[in-house]
């Protein structure tokens, strides 16, 4: 991927002649061509089969003309590769057969091979050959992975997770470190295979108060980002509901902070200084008619000022989204020019 690629320049904080745009969950249920494939394959099968993962990754790039692809995967894929038995249950999410709740359980988590997960790396290689835009590698951050592992599935209040975190700090630290190392190997594998950037999803980090995030989670995120530094690829860190965590998350060392829709992008820019930002249209705004949607897209663009700004939603594309609305956003972003 040429270093003067639009998306990569925005990740480096540069002013860009137009604003790059991609969407979290752009490969997914909002696209009929994805749903057609999903009828024949489970999510895990699609993640495990390089040709399918690549095809699903390509679908939104072909249809929408977004400026980056993101590897189709699930954050639990490296956990499965590390020996954790799990499934992705339709309409629920990842389900862990034997949750991790003790030191013995943590001991059950295995290693990844030094090169990461071969079927993932192979999908990356196929994509890098096909794509004319950068491929973003995909990983989950340790707190979010730990929550799935400990709760046994998606959780509203993360009670067991927080209980371990607060009550058994050394067990917790061991688990965080273990997960950080697995994620790091997984992401380095994707980079070696050709990924041009990485997005690290800490989907549930927003469940934490800042003091707990700083003490119990930040070190593991920093461990991953530090471990990627020598690769030179940009890293994007994102979680939803993280309005009070942004500065702390930024201090973990990502190149770009992903901003959810609760935080006005203008205010994120003030708080984060010159750090590039990605975001942050409310995904529900895509249900609104053009006369409402367009000004909302423009408001985000205006706040981004065309410098170090990657346009995205403030969370994943909702499955109910009309692909034409996604197309409209792409076209609006591409037509917009910074003022001066």
- What is the Cα–Cα distance from 155 to 149, expressed in whole angstroms? 11
User: Taking the CB of residue 50, how many other CB atoms lie within 10 A of it?
Assistant: 18
Q: Is 337 in the site for its own copies (CB under 8 A)?
A: no
State yes or no: is 5 an active-site residue: no
Q: In whole angstroms, how far apart are CA 162 and each of 122, 207, 311? A: 36, 9, 33
Using the rule CB under 8 A, give the single segment among 53-61, 157-165, 172-180, 269-277 that binds its own copies.
157-165
State yes or no: is 12 an active-site residue: no
Number of residues that bind its own copies (CB under 8 A): 33
- What is the Cα–Cα distance from 325 to 321, expressed in whole angstroms? 7
Q: Is 223 in the site for its own copies (CB under 8 A)?
A: no
Residues 299-328 close enough to bind its own copies by CB under 8 A: 299, 314, 318, 320
- What is the Cα–Cα distance from 185 to 187, expressed in whole angstroms? 6
Q: Note whether 31 and 63 are within 8 A (CB).
A: yes
Residues 87-116 close enough to bind its own copies by CB under 8 A: none
Give the DSSP letter of residue 83: T
Q: In terms of C-beta distances under 8 Å and separation of at least 24 residues, what long-range contacts does 245-248 make, across chains too?
A: 245/205, 245/206, 245/208, 245/210, 245/213, 246/271, 246/272, 247/271, 247/272, 248/210, 248/213, 248/214, 248/218
Considering only residues 2, 17, 104, 167, which one is a binding residue for its own copies as defined by CB under 8 A?
167
| Closest alpha carbon to 113 in 15, 182, 25, 47 | 182
The smaller minimum CB distance to its own copies, of residues 64 and 240, is found at 240
Active-site pick, 5, 48, 67, 74: 74
Using the rule CB under 8 A, give the single segment among 65-73, 122-130, 225-233, 286-294 that binds its own copies.
286-294
Q: Is 261 in the site for its own copies (CB under 8 A)?
A: yes
Using the rule CB under 8 A, give the single segment among 26-34, 75-83, 176-184, 283-291 that binds its own copies.
283-291
Using the rule CB under 8 A, give the single segment among 16-24, 96-104, 258-266, 328-336 that binds its own copies.
258-266
Three-state secondary-structure class, residue 149: helix
State yes or no: is 148 an active-site residue: yes
Return residues touching its own copies (CB under 8 A). 157-159, 162-163, 166-167, 206, 208-212, 241, 243-244, 261-264, 267, 282-285, 287-289, 292, 299, 314, 318, 320
């Amino acid at each position: 991927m040429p270093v003067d690629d639009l998306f990569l320049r925005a990740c480096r904080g540069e002013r860009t002649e137009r604003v790059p745009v991609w969407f979290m969950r752009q490969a997914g249920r909002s696209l009929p061509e994805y749903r057609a494939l999903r009828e024949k394959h489970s999510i895990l099968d699609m993640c495990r089969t390089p040709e399918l993962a690549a095809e699903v990754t390509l679908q939104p790039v072909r249809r929408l003309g977004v400026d980056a692809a993101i590897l189709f995967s699930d954050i639990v894929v490296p956990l499965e590769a590390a020996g954790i038995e799990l499934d992705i249950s339709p309409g629920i999410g990842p389900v862990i057969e034997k949750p991790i709740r003790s030191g013995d359980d943590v001991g059950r988590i295995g290693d990844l091979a030094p090169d990461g997960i071969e079927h993932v790396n192979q999908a990356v290689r196929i994509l890098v050959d096909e794509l004319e835009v950068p491929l973003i590698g995909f990983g989950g951050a340790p707190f979010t992975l730990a929550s799935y592992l400990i709760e046994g599935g998606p959780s509203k209040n993360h009670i067991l997770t927080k209980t371990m975190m607060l009550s058994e700090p050394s067990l917790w630290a061991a688990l965080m470190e273990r997960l950080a190392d697995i994620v790091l190997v997984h992401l380095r594998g994707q980079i070696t295979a050709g990924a041009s950037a990485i997005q690290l999803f800490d989907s549930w980090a927003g469940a934490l108060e800042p003091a707990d995030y700083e003490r119990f989670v930040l070190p593991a995120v920093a461990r991953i980002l530090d471990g990627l530094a020598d690769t030179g690829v940009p890293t994007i860190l994102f979680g939803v509901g993280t309005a009070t965590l942004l500065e702390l998350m930024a201090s973990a060392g990502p190149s770009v902070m992903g901003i959810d829709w609760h935080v006005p992008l203008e205010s994120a820019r003030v708080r984060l200084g010159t750090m590039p930002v990605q975001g942050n249209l409310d995904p529900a705004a895509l249900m609104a008619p053009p006369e409402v949607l367009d000004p909302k897209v423009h408001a985000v663009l205006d706040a981004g000022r065309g410098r170090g700004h990657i346009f995205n939603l403030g969370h994943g594309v909702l499955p109910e989204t009309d692909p034409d609305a996604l197309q409209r956003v792409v076209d609006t972003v591409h037509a917009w020019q910074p003022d001066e």
